[in-house]
Amino acid sequence: MKENLVFCRMLFKGRVQGVGFRFTTQRIAETNNLCGFVRNLLSGEVEVQVEGERNIVESFLEELRQRMKFYITDLDVSWGKYQGKFSKFEITI
């Protein structure tokens, strides 16, 4: 089962601050039992780092994209090795 675990970093661009993006992200992540964080960046982008089973992370990403599609103009996604560095999902500064 551990071989299915992944790390994913997402960088959302567009009008993604001040529209409930972080709270929506947290709700979807917690519903899917994912761990990580979401935060606003000074550049106006929103960064998400998440760890979990790959298929669940992919579903999380797709649901987030669908719910916030009117605010997202671009998205960078990078996948990495699971490190188990998060114990919950939270909004950070």
Interval 26-50: pLDDT, tens = 999 999 999 999 999 999 999 999 9
Element (H, E) at 33: none
The pLDDT, as a whole number, for residue 3 is: 73
The pLDDT, as a whole number, for residue 93 is: 81
Judged against a pLDDT cut of 70, whether residue 2 lies above it is answered with: no
Residue ranges of domains in the chain, CATH in brackets = 2-91 (3.30.70.100)
- List, by residue number, the catalytic residues: 22, 40
Beta-bridge mates of residue 75: 12
Whole-model pTM: value is 0.94
pLDDT digits (tens, 9 = 90+) for 58-93: 999 999 999 999 999 999 999 999 999 999 999 998
